[in-house]
Amino acid sequence: MLYWAIVFLVIALIAGVLGFGGIAGTAASIAEILFFIFIVFFVIALVMGLMTGRRPPVP
């Protein structure tokens, strides 16, 4: 998902340089949404990993 966010960001940058403002804005919005979805999934996975991770053995 982070890959697609970066792809849309690059598309937005290229479209902005070439003067396609509408396409650049849309691609930037899509990239922002995908990035925030990625962050949410990352935090969920991190919390789940910490909760179900192995604990060191007690001697």
Under a CB-based contact definition with an 8 Å cutoff, are residues 11 and 26 in contact? no
Please report the pLDDT score of residue 44 as a whole number: 93
Please report the pLDDT score of residue 58 as a whole number: 74
Average confidence (pLDDT) over 38-47: 92
Report CA 6 to chain centroid distance, whole Å.
Answer: 8
Grade residue 56 by pLDDT with cuts at 50, 70 and 90.
low
Under a CB-based contact definition with an 8 Å cutoff, are residues 13 and 5 in contact? no
Percent of the chain with pLDDT over 90: 58
Under a CB-based contact definition with an 8 Å cutoff, are residues 8 and 48 in contact? no
> Within a 10 A sphere around the Cβ of 58, how many other Cβ atoms?
4
Average confidence (pLDDT) over 29-48: 92
Top-confidence residue, 59 or 29: 29
Q: Which amino acid is at 24?
A: A
Please report the pLDDT score of residue 36 as a whole number: 94
